[in-house]
Each structure stands twice: as structure tokens, then as C-alpha cells.
Structure 1
Amino acid sequence: MTTKVEFDEQKSSRQIKIGVLMSYAAIGFNILAGLFYTPWMIAEIGKANYGLYMLSLSLVSIFAMDFGLEAAVSRFLSKYHALGDSEGASRFLGVAFKLFIGIAVLIGLVLIGVYMMIDTIYASLSPAEVETLQVLYIMVGFYIVVLFPTKPFNGIFIANERFVVLNWFNLMEKVSTVILMVGALLFGFGLYALVFVNAIVGLSIIIGKGIYLLRKTETAIDFLHNSRSMYRDIFTFSSWTTVIAIAQRFILNITPTILGALASSASIALFSIGMVIEGYVWTISSAIGSLFLPKVTRMTTYNRQSELNHLLIRVGRIQLFIVGLIIVSFATMGREFIGLWVGPDFFPSYTVALLLILPGIITLTQEIAYTTLIAVNQIKYRAFASLIVATVSVVLSLLLSPHYGAIGAASAILVGNLIGTVIFMNVVYVRVLKLSMWTFFYECHVKIAPALLFLGTLGFLLQRYLPVESLVHFLFKAVVLGGAYFLFLWIFTFRDDEKALLRGFVRHASKTS
């Protein structure tokens, strides 16, 4: 039965605010773990064992891709909730879970086939290494297959706007995994314990999520219902999201291959450092996108276009405050950071990273527009954009890499992103979604430009007249720059509602602590 329902938008906003705080807490923990825990773990188990550990994870993950089905659950379940169609939601979940179970069985069969050929596929490994890899592969593969049918859980949390609980579970999973891994290594349990800890923590978190959904939400699953139209809708949506994922992975995987064939191995290393920086920027900037899917779905369902444009601008400004700080700061002081972090030999990686992150000054501020594409089931346009980016990037990389190495490859990806994700997607946002993008750019980029100009000028002066020789001193300089930028924003740029929002964040953070 479909009925128009009233939603508590204030409660929804509170969930989003606290969810954002917890998302950034998890991101911060991940970054710190990558900087400090990972090097220590490698030292404890050795480079060879770490290589086997990562090989087992990457090998299994190739077959564990969810083909956009998790995003499909979020999208369609949000739609049913917006319509107040609880019966349709339970039927959809029944179809979705059966689909995930079927795919898990297929993945299991494929993994068994690959296991039989591991010694042939990795003939360069020693017999002892192959034996170790086989044990790791069994452990990781079993864990992946068992957990795959539970992938809809996150989509259910998102559709029900339980962002605080979802992010709490995710944060606890990361923290618990690192703590238990450190304990296991300190007690001398070795390589297999790492995989075992991952599995135990992952299973515990999944059980916790399942219990919460059953007890605290009105989630119902109709396993007896079958619907060809639902299968078709899920397949269509997930097909386009799979195209996006494959196109993005293709760019990441093919570029080092092109550099290795047409440039040099040194170019691959330079490009890889730039990709690490780009990955951090994307992770930090896109932390809040999925949190708005239920709210955006309600707006599109009931044709609240003016509210959608207002949300686009409001969230876009917040994202630009963050993205602008990262990109402009890196543009002015990134070269020094690269030298202090990985050494002067990697100075070209500064240019590579800058070319890769520059389009983000636009694309990473338009998460609401992208979320709207998902809400109205027009994700195919983002797939077209990804194919454009991949095609342009690869063609130009083949032309530029022999002459300019890693910088040439990064320039190719920059051009691809400008054509695909900037120009093409903004045409889609205007013509297909009917969003007021010119107003968006004026309210966001034009009005915030003075603050970014101030940030760039101050960063340039600090870099020119206060060079440092250690990461600790650099971090202190970065904090000074960030503080001055925030002060400028507060005095000259923040609107009253943004100041109120920030005060609310501070209150929530103090209550949480």
C-alpha cells in the first residue's frame, strides 16, 4: 500500500550532522592507521608475508565486487520509504537478498575454480609461498562469501537514515581490527592471525548490524515474493553503477601499465604517489554524499525542486570550504610536503597530484547533484561520463606518456575529467535534472573565491618565507594556515545559517566526547 507520509526532517538533519562527524572520525583513524600501523605491521610480519597477505585480499576482491547492488538497495528502498510503501519495501528486500545469496554462491564456485589453479597462476612463487597463499585464500574467500549476502544491511541503514549507528559500527570495526591485530602480532601469532582477526571482527559487526535492524527498525523481508520487474530494475541500475566502477578502476589500473610500457618504472612510482594524494582528497571530500540519499529521494518524489536547489547550494558551499582548503593549500605548500614525506626524488609527484585533484574543486562540491541522479534513477549519465573520462584519459596517456611520463599521464586524466565529469555532467544537471547550476556556481564558487584567494596568497607567503625541514614543523605551519583561513571565513564568508550549523557541530562533538 502506498501512502504519502510525513517525515521528521529535523531528526533527519540531526542524523546527518552526527553521521558526518563520525564519518570524518573514521576517515581520520584510517589515515593515521595507514601512516603508523601499516609500516609497523610490515616490519612485524615481513615484506614477503605482507605481500602474500595483500595478494590474497586483492585476488578475492576481484570476484567480490557487488556490481552496484548495495547502492541499488539504498536507492530503491529510499524510494519505497518516501512513498510510504512498506509492503513494496519488504518485497524488494526479499528479491534483493535472494539475488545477493545467488551471487554469493556463484562467487564461491568461481573462487573454488581459481583455488585449483593458484600454483599455475602464481608460478613465480616458491612452493612454501604458494602453500601460505592457498591457506590465506581459503580464509579470505570463505569470509567474503559468507558476508556477501549481508551487503544490503548498509543500504537498509542508509534508507532508514540510521547514519549514527551505521558509522558507529563502521568505526568500531576499524578500531577493533587494528587493536586486535596489534595484540595478535605482539603475542606472536603471525600472518594467519591477521586474516582471522579480520574475519571475526567482520562477522561480529555484521551480527550486530542484523540484530539492530531487526530490533530497532521496521525492516521486514518477504522471501516468498518474486517480481521480474524488480529484478529488472535492480539489474538495470546495478549495470550502470558497474560500468562506472569498471571505468574508474580501468583508469587506475591501465595508467601504470601505460607508463611502464611507454615511459619508465620511475614514472609509475611518481604517478602512484600522486594517486595516493588524490585518494585521500576524494575520501575526505565525499564522506557526506550517501547520507543525503533518503532526503534527496523525498524531494524528488514530491517534486520539491526549490528545496533541492537550496540543498545543493548549502551542501556545495560546505564541501567547497573543505575541498578548497585541501586543494589550494596543496597547490601552495604541496611540493614541500612531498619532499618531507617521501623525499626530493618525488618532487614531480606534486605536479601529478595537483593535476589529479584540480577538477575536484568543482566535481567534489556537486555530491547532491550526483545523489539526485541516483534518486531519479538516471545513473546512466554518470556511466556515460565515466566512459568519456576513461576513453579520453587512455588515448591522451598513450600520446603524452612517452614524452612527459607521469605528468603527461596525469594531464591526460585531467583533460578527461574536465570533459566528462565537469562539462558533460553539468550539462546533464541542467538539462536532465533541471538544477540551477549557474546559481549554484555563483553562490558557491564566486562568493567563496575571495577566501580561497586569501588562502592561496597566505600559503604562498608561508611557503616562500618560512620553509621547514621536518613534517612536524610542516604540520604546525599547515595548522596556522588553516586557522587563518577559518578566521577569514568566519568574518567575511560564512552565512548566518553556516555559523549556526558549525555551533551545532561543536555542541554535538562535545556531547559525544
Structure 2
Amino acid sequence: MKINQLKMGVVLSYITMFIHNIISILYTPIMLRLLGKSEYGLYQLVFSVVSYLGLLSFGFGSAYVRFYSRYKVKNDEDGIARLNGMFITIFLIIALISIVSGSILVFNIETIFKQGLTGSEIDTARILMILMVFNLAVTFPSSVFDSYVTAHECYFFQRVIGLLQTVLNPFLTLPLLLMGYKSISLVTITTVLTLGKFIMNIYYCRKKINMKFRFKNIQFSLLKEIWIFSFFIFLNMIVDQINWSVDKFILGMFGGTVAVAVYAVGGQINSIYMSLSTSVSSVFIPRINTIAADSNDNRQLTDIFTRVGRIQFIVLALILFGFILFGKYFISIWAGNGYEHAYYVALLLIIPVTVPLIQNLGIEIQRAKNMHKFRSVVYFIIAIGNVLLSIPLTKVYGEVGAALGTAITMILGNIIIMNWYYQARVKLDMKYFWGNIFKLFPAVLASFGTGLIALKLITLNSVIDFVIVGCIYVSVYLICMYLFGLNSYEKGLVNGMISKVLRRRR
């Protein structure tokens, strides 16, 4: 059953990711035109501010699966129930703190943005912030039930709920946008869907997988251990928040909502790009924790790390090199006029983030081994450097400068330092990992060269030209990857999927 759930989780992750990205590609240009550049920039700016309240979780959510696995190995049902009681209590308190903290932000929003926003924009921002704070407060207790579902490897339910959210959001929001409700409608629908997910999670956990709570005899020694473990995850959350949100905050202070909107378009492409990787690796979290708790076999962990990393690179390389080739024209027809710099913002974000994306399973390996402290401290220092570097670059180069500051610090921390740490301390065989990744490059470079030739022969003057050149590039990539890139295991996966499709058609 677990194997089926794992396979179903991966399949549904890709389906959800595919549908989400297709919807984003189709829906975003409509939203941009209905909202306008300033309103969209305002929405992104407020979102970037409120998202900092997400740090109030202090990393506790990421710790749940690890401590759940400890009790599960011992078949300690009472221990799991007490763990559940402890976590739901903690997150209800955090939800209350987030509401109080959000209220302080709401009352001081004019002071924060008086230099970059107009009076009417501040009024709209205040309403957006109230709704976003409430939405965030709901997600805190909901995350406990999400973690319990993940720990039980019930991926089918989890991915279906995610798929419903992905599909319903734009279909419910679009009529409101057409009626003129602007950015407030976006947040209202998101909040309604968040509440719906919370209710369904409670029902599923209580009725289907028998989630129990014990609120007596809470072990404060365990709470201390969870806090020590979670603290370094919390530092890493601060880093992620700085890397992906501080640029918009800085732009909001020094550049205004238009600069935020341009950066946000590039950031949207980066978000889509990142989802191609994280949606798959997340289903391996329980397995990684089980291996670490049981045998701590570094050879086995390296093998899973490399296998998942290769699959992630195969998917990401197709998008990365395709965007390098055709990204400028894509943004011109997707976002419209005035967003030309979004191409350079996107490139500066997605090129350096590719390496940590194909290695994101390593984060779970570190956590399972309780070796994530180094990464968190290093990333925190690097993130501070990102802020200090991005402010002067933003003043000179605007949104491109903000992205450049993030790119430089990401190369230093996420790529150079972390690969050393994986090899020297976590004891993953990084020579083996990179040797397997580099075996994919001949296929990647061959298809990239074909794309360059196609651009020389066909000038992109219409969507039809774009589709033709894109199809040529994708076709050559898939053929070259199958012939020169995939190993026997990966070819077996592809052949198996093709055989299943052919059998069903018969």
C-alpha cells in the first residue's frame, strides 16, 4: 500500500504541478491586465510583508515527521497522541500571536510604506493585509493535520486536495476580477479555500486515519528537544523569506509598486520553476527519515539523493535552457509591454537556484540526521549579505539589481558551501552525484544547440512561430535525453509508462 501511495503521490504531484503551471501561464496574463501593473505590484508587496509572519511557526512544522517516525518505529500510539496534542497546542498559540502581530502591522502600514505608496494604495493595502493575516493564522493549525497526513504517506488525499485548490482558485477569482473587485478578490478566495482545506484535513485525519490527541502529561524535555531541532529550521525559514521576499520589500520602499510588479513577474516564473522540483522530492520525506532512524546507510541515502536529483535535473534543464532561448519573447506575449526586465530577473533567479533544487532532498537528509544546523547558520549569514548587497544594487539597477544580489549570495551559499558540506560532513558521495548529473549534459547541449539553430532559421514574429520553434526544441530534447542521457533504470521507467499507456488503448 505504501509503495502504491508513493507512486500515486509522485504521479499526482506531477499532475498537480502541470495543471498549476498551465493555469498560471494562462491565468496570470489575464490577471495582470485586469489588475494593472500598480495593483498587481501592491498585491505582491503586501503579500511579501505578511509572509514574514509565517516565520512564527519557528520551524516546528518541519520537525513533526521526524519525531513522529521515532514513536512509530516503537509502535508508541500514546506517544504519537501526546505529540499531536503538543503540536496542535503550539500552533494554536502561534496562530493567536500571528493575529496580534498582524494587527500591529495593519495599524502601522502607513508608516511602513508612506514613501512608496499613495493614499488610496495604502487603504487597499490595509484591507489586503487584514485578509492575509487571517488566512495565515488558519494555516498554522492546519499544518499539523497536513504533517500527520504526510507522516502516514496518504499522498492520494493530500495531492487531490492540493489539485482542487489549484483548479478552484482561478475559476472562483476570475469572475470577481471581471466584476472589478481587483486584488481584494484574490485574497478573499484564497482565504475561503484555506478554510475549506482545514475542515477537510480535520475530517480526514480524525475519521479516516484515526488521529488522536493527548493534552495531559506533556513532556517538556521533548518540547525542548523539538525546539532545539526546529530552531535551525527556523533560521533556514528566515533565509528563504529574505531570499524570496525581501527584494520586493526593498523595491516597495525605494522603487514603488511598478518595480515590484516587474520583479514579481520574474519571481512568478521562478516559483513555477521551483515547483517542478519540490513537488516530487516531498513524497520521499518519510522514507528518508525511516532510513536515517533505522540504519543511517549513507550509500543508500546517496543513491536515493542521486536518483531523485537526476530526474529533477532532466525536468529542470528542459525548462531552463528553453527559457534562455525563448524567454524574452514568452514574457512579451505573456505579461505584455513594460515587463521586459522580468526576463533578466527570472534568469538571475532560476540559473543559480537550479543546483539547490536538484539537491533539495539533501535538506531532508540533513534534518533526518539532525545535521541541519550548519546549513541554517551559513544561510542566515548569507541572507544578511543578500540584504546588504541588494539595497545598493536596487537603487542603481532597480528590479534587476535586486535579483542580482540574490543570485550572487545564492551561488556562494547554496552551491559552493553546501556541496562541500554534503561531502565532508553529511557523508554523501558528491563526486558520484555530480558524475551522474554531468552524464546528462551531452543531451542537454545538443538540444540547446538545435534551439539556437532554429532561432536563426525562424524569427519569432508570432505565437505560431514560438510554438513551432518550441516544439522542435522539446522534441529534440526528449529524443536526445532518451538516447544519450537516461540510464537503464530511467529508461525502464519511461518504457514502463509507455507500455501501460499502450495496453490501456488496446
Short-chain TM bin: 0.7 to 0.9
CA contact (8 A) 2:63 2:230 kept: yes
Aligned to 2:17: 27
Aligned to 2:445: 453
State the secondary structure of the residue aligned to 1:330. helix
Deviations 1:10-52 (A, max 9, x none): x434323322232233333333433443554576678888777
* Structure 1 residue 93: Cα displacement: 1.4
Specify which of 67, 81, 85 is matched with residue 72 of structure 2.
81
Specify which of 406, 409, 421 is matched with residue 414 of structure 2.
421
Correspondence 1:108 to 2:99: yes
* Structure 1 residue 495: Cα displacement: 2.3
How many Å separate the matches in 1 of 2:100 and 2:472? 55
State the secondary structure of the residue aligned to 2:12. helix
Specify which of 305, 310, 325 is matched with residue 303 of structure 2.
310
Correspondence 1:441 to 2:420: no
Deviations 1:466-506 (A, max 9, x none): 22223443134223211211112222322232123234556
Correspondence 1:173 to 2:139: no
How many Å separate the matches in 2 of 1:470 and 1:451? 28
Correspondence 1:381 to 2:380: no
How many Å separate the matches in 2 of 1:364 and 1:277? 15
Change beyond 3 A, Cα 1:309–1:108? same
- Give the aligned residue type for 2:284: F
Change beyond 3 A, Cα 1:407–1:51? closer
How many Å separate the matches in 1 of 2:401 and 2:36? 35
**Percentage of pairs with the same residue:** 27
Please show how residues 289-438 of structure 1 align to structure 2 within 5 Å. Answer: 289-303=281-295, 304-342=297-335, 349-397=342-390, 409-438=402-431
How many Å separate the matches in 1 of 2:179 and 2:342? 39
- Give the aligned residue type for 1:77: Y
- Give the aligned residue type for 1:381: F
* Structure 1 residue 152: Cα displacement: 0.7
Deviations 1:349-396 (A, max 9, x none): 444433332234432211222220121222222213322432444455
CA contact (8 A) 2:45 2:257 kept: no
- Give the aligned residue type for 1:458: T
CA contact (8 A) 1:401 1:409 kept: yes
How many Å separate the matches in 2 of 1:74 and 1:115? 34
Change beyond 3 A, Cα 1:147–1:407? closer
Change beyond 3 A, Cα 1:267–1:119? closer
Aligned to 1:5: none
Higher mean alpha-carbon deviation, 168-177 vs 350-359, is at 350-359
Aligned to 1:241: 233
How many Å separate the matches in 2 of 1:353 and 1:213? 39
Q: How many residues align?
A: 501
Q: TM-score, normalised by structure 1?
A: 0.83
How many Å separate the matches in 1 of 2:248 and 2:135? 30
Change beyond 3 A, Cα 1:60–1:341? closer
How many Å separate the matches in 2 of 1:76 and 1:512? 42
Change beyond 3 A, Cα 1:47–1:319? closer
State the secondary structure of the residue aligned to 1:358. helix
- Give the aligned residue type for 1:26: T
Gaps of 5+ in 1: 1-10
How many Å separate the matches in 2 of 1:166 and 1:62? 25
Change beyond 3 A, Cα 1:408–1:207? closer
Aligned to 2:480: 488
* Structure 1 residue 249: Cα displacement: 2.5
Change beyond 3 A, Cα 1:232–1:56? same
How many Å separate the matches in 1 of 2:254 and 2:128? 35
Correspondence 1:12 to 2:5: no
- Give the aligned residue type for 1:68: G
Change beyond 3 A, Cα 1:88–1:415? same
How many Å separate the matches in 2 of 1:195 and 1:425? 37
Specify which of 57, 70, 76 is matched with residue 61 of structure 2.
70
How many Å separate the matches in 2 of 1:418 and 1:336? 27
- Give the aligned residue type for 1:172: L
Change beyond 3 A, Cα 1:383–1:227? same
Specify which of 77, 82, 94 is matched with residue 91 of structure 1.
82
Deviations 1:192-230 (A, max 9, x none): 766554444332222222221223224322122312122
Aligned to 1:479: 471
Change beyond 3 A, Cα 1:426–1:350? same
* Structure 1 residue 264: Cα displacement: 11
Higher mean alpha-carbon deviation, 418-427 vs 114-123, is at 114-123
Aligned to 1:4: none
Correspondence 1:216 to 2:208: yes
- Give the aligned residue type for 1:419: L
Change beyond 3 A, Cα 1:114–1:451? closer
